Amino acid sequence: MTRQRLLRARLSVPLVLAGLVLVGCASGGPEASVEPPEPASTPTETPETPAAPTPSEDPATPAAGIFTDAQASRGRTMFNEVCSECHTTSEFRGRAFQSNWGRRTVYSFYRTIRSTMPDDNPGGLEEQVYLDVSAYILSLNGHDGGSSELSADSPMREVRIAPPEPQP
């Protein structure tokens, strides 16, 4: 591949990502789940005080440990083997990355890399590779590992890429 074509390919990735984000925003995202109505209370029941929202219910608050340290380590290995041909880790942390991705969810990031990477074979890797690389990117951004691996069933739609706020 000529240097000019390589440069053009590298410059097209952000445009593709921006287009995917705009399409996702324009479509309104995934349909909201519809909760069944609560049964009417009988006169003998006392109303319960609603529970405070948990951190995973507030997308602005990162959930503690939605990936394991071992998974992030596998993600680092895969990043070095596959992604580093075109990317550096500095692209996925710091002010510029947080400006573009910090307010977005882990799911949005995962969905984007799964549908657009690697550039020469979009979506061609195993799902676990995309999950592991996503865990690695979270670790680069200050998230701590926990006891459960990031999976398709994880609360990815509820956790932001932004690093967790330091605890006082």
Per-residue pLDDT 10s for the chain (168 aa) are 444 444 455 544 544 444 444 334 333 444 333 444 444 444 444 344 334 334 434 444 445 689 999 999 999 999 999 999 999 999 999 999 999 999 999 999 999 999 999 999 999 999 999 999 999 999 999 999 999 999 999 999 999 998 767 666
The per-residue pLDDT for 72 is 98
The per-residue pLDDT for 150 is 97
The per-residue pLDDT for 64 is 63
The per-residue pLDDT for 163 is 74
User: How many angstroms separate the Cα of 118 from the Cα of each of 31, 128, 145, 155, 164?
Assistant: 28, 14, 25, 25, 28
CB under 8 Å to 148, separation ≥6 — which residues? 65, 66, 67, 68, 154
Structure tokens of 42? Answer: 């009988």
80 membership: H or E segment, kind and range: helix 69-81
Which amino acid, residue 160? R
CB 104 within 8 A of CB 22: no
pLDDT of 43-92, one tens digit each? Answer: 444 344 334 334 434 444 445 689 999 999 999 999 999 999 999 999 99
Token pair 């990477």 is at which residue? 117
**Is the peptide bond prior to 36 cis by the omega test (within 30 degrees of 0)?**
no
The per-residue pLDDT for 17 is 44
The per-residue pLDDT for 92 is 96
